[in-house]
Structure 1
C-alpha cells in the first residue's frame, strides 16, 4: 500500500469519526445510521462499512477516543484522594458528551468483534488509571473492587439511575472504603 493510499484512508476514517460525532450530537444515537454518517462525511455507505462494522462500533470507537483525552490524575494526595481524582476526571470527561454517554452503554454490551476489542481497551484504560492512582502496595482485590464499583456505577448512570456528574460524588465514599481510608 502506498503512502498516499494510507494517508487517504486515514483521512477517510477521521472524516467518518468527525461526521459520526456531529451526527450523534445532532440526531441522537437512536436515529443515527451509518448511511447518514457516510453522507455527512462525503463517502459512500460501502466505504463507511469498510471502516465501521456497526453503529455500536462507531459509538464505542468515539467513546474510546473521547476517553483518551481525559486528563490523568496528578498523583498527589492520599491514595483514596488520587483514585477519587481519577474517577472524577473520567466521569467529567464522559459527562461532557451526553449523547455519546447515552449511546455507549448499550453499545458496549454488543457482541461484534470490533466492540469486544475496544471494550477490552477501555477496561484496560480504566485499570491503568486506577493502578497509577493507587501507586505501590495496593492488592489485587483492591484494584478489582475499584474496577467493579466503577463499572457498576457506569452501568447505573447509563441506565439513568444517576447522572455522570453525580457518579464521582457517589463513588468517593466507596473508593475510601475500598482503599481503606474512610
Structure 2
C-alpha cells in the first residue's frame, strides 16, 4: 500500500491576522466499499481505533458520542502515545458531514495547535476500493513545523490502521 504525502505553506486568517500555516495532505487507496467506509468514518469507535498507539483521547464528557453530528463540538484531553498530555483541552467542531460527497470536516484547536482544520474525503475507485484523503491545515505559531512533522507520522499511522479495518471486514 502506497501512502502519498504532501506539505505546502498556505496563508490563513487567525484572530484577524494573516499567518502562514502548513497544509498536510495524506492519501491512500483502501480496499473497502465507500458506503461501509463512510458509515465508519462518522463514528468515535473508528477514531479511537485508527489513532490507537499514537493518541488516546479522554473526552471531557466521559465519552465521545457514538456518531458524530454536524454542528456539534466535543472537547477532549489528548494523550500522545497514550500517556503524554499535549495541548491542554482539544476541541473538535464538526463543521460539515456531507453524505452525498463523502466529506467530513472539523475545525479543531487547543493550546498548542491553534488551528487544526481536518477534512476527510472518500472517493470511489471501484466497488471495493476507495481513495481516502486526510487534509489538515495546521497552525501553532513557532510550533507549526514540529506539530506538522508529528501530524505527518500520525496520519500515516491512521491510514495504515484503516487497512486493518478493511482487512477485518474481508476476513470478518
Give TM-score, length-normalised by structure 2: 0.26
Between Structure 1 and Structure 2, the one with more strand by share is: 2
Between Structure 1 and Structure 2, the one with more helix by share is: 1
Highest relative contact order (Cα 8 Å, sep 6+), 1 or 2? 2
- Structure with greater Cα Rg: 1
